[in-house]
């Protein structure tokens, strides 16, 4: 327990402490247009603009590149190529040296940056890129991961294998067996604010980089490597992003490096902001998978063993494909205990843009594989998939059934999925609606309905153990106001607000006394990315640690000055009780300053207990699990494949929420984004390897009108984190995303009704209207023939 925590009745008087509903700190600026993003900043005098020149073949060597017409175009100051990189021509986040700043000699995907135009205006830079004359010797290429052999073809990073028990024997001995394959599509981040970087040169070799990034320290490192200077020469700052979703964890490196190279070379500030088409073409996306599975089970639906192969389209370089495909395997169990399991990843090389982090970081893809197995078993037995789900849930500690060990050998010690699902099943009236839908379908010729209730268990922590650390800097000024800085980044998810609430709670001061400041590598060094749903957990703890250090000094000062025991120094709302008197917080701070007490502290936190041995496929990669469940009902038009989501009910576990208003928004947004991934958002490459869905005209994210007609979202009232997280809250960034799986399975249920649930729909994702229609026609044909 936090030794400094004030009693709840006192905390209730703080304007904005933890566990209170506070609006996003920038909400009023978002809606009035006064929130300052990088492109809104006052432009430095003499600012130059950059634009990428993209390759026009999918795979090939560059025979010649004539840029003379580009250089002589109006307003052009310079054209950068690989030879202009003064340091290392590499921005690989994993250190595998396989991702150049600019392609050097060989092009590995259509749209790969091969040069960068620097001009007086952005329009001049964009126009000039058209004048390049590049000749290629084209080479064979592969785009579709389904065309590859996961055991033989080229990988971008070593695969992972998880195993517990003898899956092959368990499957062979099981009374029933099924083998299948599923295709699972990728997803573009489609952040509102695109990639952008502005570099301002300083003295010596210094450069200040404003970059829309979730990982300022990594941008710092990559820019330093590209410039050939120490890290201390590069400062990266970011106040806010207009969305990230993982797309700004590594993908900002290239734009920042090029802006910094040009800024240093010309001693002028340089900004690079690609348009939406170039952004979507040249930056990575969510990994799409081909999932092969085999399952052995009995007549009741008990699963005896499973075998998975997750083959991922990774693109031309490693980027974060290793940890992404690892996490897919970590979640191939979702909420289910596999008595024997064997799971392998295949991070396959393809001639496409290198795929990267995306909300859930591979976990949702693993869960879809688990849910496909459950659905297959249910159809084979003619049972409700929910019954098969509940039958195979992880057990609870102490139930004597020994059903709580994951495929990576971590015990599930905080399992609450049974209660989550039971409460949601009752509150959404699942059984009654299931009967009503069956009656509707029996009497409706062209419109069919479907329903599905799917669970979520999401592991919280970076699987790379070293990233589970955070720093923070807290200053208390003599008027009692507080300056807060930490390594987390704000992309609209409310992290800055939550951490400020933690600091306000610690000092027992009103929230408006805490100043939220831009993330910068010059204040808090060596930070981890704001990812893996760890932002509040890590940075909240680090900020609390810094505040506690200052608080301890204030207590020691009060004890010495007023000669009272420590337990008689109590922080109350905006004041401190010292013995029998009360002193305003600001007054005590001023007194401490006059007595030369340090009022600044650097906080630090590292997640305890976690460890991971990748070679053995064993360990405790996650500090805890977050849980949730969603029930969705859909209607499909069997003549067109078009569909609507009629209703969704969600019950999600956020522990003891730091801010329910923010967390509810995260759950709602996560669900819609997950639904979009599995329904309308389709990435498509043509026969020449060109991405054709590279603009909102061809790539369909969910609209406001696509949300469920009835949308009931609740946070579970009773749970709190089993581990001592920040104020017993739980992460809520990524865990809600897989709740969208319920829509995919509701669509599958509706399609299955065409054949009275006698034929497995085998519905791949994204389940676009076209794909739904094809599945319906397939069901009709098979049903009529059988």
Indicate which residues carry an active-site annotation: 734
Q: Rounded CA gap, 373 and 385, in Å?
A: 10
**What single-letter DSSP state applies at residue 529?**
P
Q: How far is CA 521 from CA 381, 560, 647, in A?
A: 57, 37, 45
3-state SS record for 198-224 = EEEECCCCCEEEEECCCCHHHHHHHHH
Q: Structure tokens of 493?
A: 């998810």
Q: How far is CA 265 from CA 80, 85, 468, 556, in A?
A: 10, 10, 37, 53
Between strands 270-272 and 48-54, the pairing is parallel
Cβ neighbours, 10 Å, residue 151 = 10
Q: Are 246 and 359 in contact (CB under 8 A)?
A: yes
Nearest to 647 by CA among 364, 446, 493, 424: 424
Q: Structure tokens of 225?
A: 């490597």
Q: At what angle do helices 216-227 and 252-266 cross, to 10 degrees?
A: 40
Q: How far is CA 329 from CA 302, 368, 474, in A?
A: 21, 11, 39
Q: Rounded CA gap, 249 and 355, in Å?
A: 12
3-state secondary structure of 496: helix
Q: Please report the sign of the dihedral spanned by the C-alpha atoms of residue 165, residue 171, residue 174, residue 176.
A: positive
Nearest to 523 by CA among 468, 559, 474: 474
Q: For residue 180, give every residue at least 6 positions away whose Cβ sits within 8 Å of its Cβ, in sequence order, or none.
A: 292, 293, 294, 372, 376, 762
Q: How far is CA 609 from CA 153, 324, 396, in A?
A: 37, 22, 20
Between strands 643-652 and 624-637, the pairing is antiparallel
Q: Are 284 and 321 in contact (CB under 8 A)?
A: no
Q: Rounded CA gap, 29 and 406, in Å?
A: 45
Q: Is the peptide bond before 766 cis (omega within 30 degrees of 0)?
A: yes
Q: Rounded CA gap, 129 and 131, in Å?
A: 6
């Amino acid at each position: 327990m936090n030794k400094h925590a004030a009693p709840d009745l006192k905390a209730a008087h703080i304007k904005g402490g933890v566990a209170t509903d506070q609006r996003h700190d920038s909400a009023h600026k978002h809606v009035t247009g006064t929130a300052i993003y990088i492109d809104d900043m006052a432009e430095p005098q003499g600012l130059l603009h950059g634009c990428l020149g993209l390759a026009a073949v999918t795979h090939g060597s560059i025979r010649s590149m004539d840029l003379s017409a580009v250089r002589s175009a109006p307003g052009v100051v310079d054209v950068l190529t690989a030879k202009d990189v003064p340091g290392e021509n590499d921005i690989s986040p994993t250190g595998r040296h396989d991702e150049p700043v600019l392609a050097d000699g060989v092009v590995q995907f259509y749209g790969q940056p091969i040069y960068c135009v620097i001009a007086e205006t952005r329009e001049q830079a964009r126009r000039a890129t058209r004048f390049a004359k590049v000749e290629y010797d084209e080479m064979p290429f592969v785009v579709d991961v389904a065309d590859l052999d996961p055991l033989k073809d080229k990988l971008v990073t070593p695969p992972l294998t998880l195993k517990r028990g003898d899956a092959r024997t368990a499957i062979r001995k099981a009374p029933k067996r099924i083998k299948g394959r599923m295709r699972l599509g990728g997803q573009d981040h489609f952040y509102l604010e695109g990639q952008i970087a502005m570099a301002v040169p300083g003295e010596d070799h210094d450069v200040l980089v404003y970059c829309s990034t979730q990982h300022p320290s990594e941008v710092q490192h990559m820019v330093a490597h590209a410039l050939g200077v120490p890290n201390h020469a590069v400062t990266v700052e970011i106040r806010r992003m207009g969305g990230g979703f993982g797309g700004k964890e590594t993908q900002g490196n290239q734009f920042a490096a090029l802006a910094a190279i040009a800024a240093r070379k010309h001693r002028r500030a340089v900004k690079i902001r690609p348009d939406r088409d170039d952004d979507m073409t040249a930056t990575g996306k969510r990994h799409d998978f081909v999932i092969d599975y085999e399952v052995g089970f009995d007549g009741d639906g008990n699963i005896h063993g499973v075998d998975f192969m997750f083959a991922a389209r990774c693109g031309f370089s490693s980027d974060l494909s290793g940890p992404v495909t690892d996490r897919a395997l970590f979640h191939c169990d979702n909420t289910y205990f596999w008595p024997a399991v064997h799971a392998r990843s295949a991070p396959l090389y393809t001639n496409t843009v290198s795929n990267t982090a995306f909300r859930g970081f591979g976990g949702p893809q693993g869960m879809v594989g688990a849910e496909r197995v459950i659905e297959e078993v249910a159809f084979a037995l003619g049972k409700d998939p929910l019954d098969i789900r509940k039958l195979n849930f992880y057990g609870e500690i102490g139930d004597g059934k020994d059903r709580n060990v994951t495929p990576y050998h971590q015990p599930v010690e905080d399992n609450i999925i049974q209660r989550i699902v039971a409460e949601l099943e009752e509150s959404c009236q699942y059984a009654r609606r299931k009967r009503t839908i069956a009656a509707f379908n029996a009497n409706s010729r062209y419109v069919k309905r479907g329903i599905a209730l799917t669970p979520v268990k999401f592991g919280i922590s970076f699987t790379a153990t070293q990233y589970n650390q955070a720093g923070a800097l807290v200053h208390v000024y003599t008027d009692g106001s507080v300056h807060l800085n930490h390594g987390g980044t704000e992309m609209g998810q409310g992290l800055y607000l939550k951490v400020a609430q933690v600091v306000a709670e610690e000092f027992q001061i009103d929230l408006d006394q805490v100043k939220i400041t831009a993330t910068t590598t010059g204040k808090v060094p060596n930070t981890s990315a704001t990812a893996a749903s760890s932002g509040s957990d890590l940075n909240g703890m680090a900020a609390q640690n810094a505040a506690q250090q200052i608080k301890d000094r204030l207590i020691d000062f009060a004890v010495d000055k007023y000669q009272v025991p420590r337990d008689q120094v109590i922080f109350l709302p905006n004041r401190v009780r010292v013995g029998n008197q009360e002193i305003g917080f600001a007054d005590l701070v001023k007194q401490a300053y006059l007595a030369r007490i340090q009022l600044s502290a650097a906080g630090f936190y590292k997640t305890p207990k976690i460890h991971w041995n990748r070679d053995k496929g064993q360990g405790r990669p996650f500090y805890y699990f977050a849980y949730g469940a969603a029930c969705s009902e859909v209607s499909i038009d069997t003549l067109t494949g078009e569909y609507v989501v009629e209703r969704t009910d969600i019950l999600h576990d956020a522990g003891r929420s730091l801010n329910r208003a923010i967390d509810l928004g995260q759950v709602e947004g996560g669900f819609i984004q997950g639904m979009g991934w599995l329904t309308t958002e389709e990435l498509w490459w043509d026969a020449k390897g060109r991405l054709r869905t590279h603009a909102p005209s061809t790539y369909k994210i969910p609209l406001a009108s696509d949300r469920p007609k009835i949308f009931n979202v609740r946070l579970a009232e009773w749970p709190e984190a089993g581990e001592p997280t920040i104020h017993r809250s739980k992460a809520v960034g990524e865990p809600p995303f897989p709740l969208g799986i319920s829509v995919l399975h509701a669509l599958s249920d509706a399609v299955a009704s065409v054949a009275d649930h006698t034929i497995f729909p085998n519905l791949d994702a994204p389940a676009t209207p076209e794909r739904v229609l094809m599945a319906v026609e397939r069901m009709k044909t098979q049903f009529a023939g059988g």
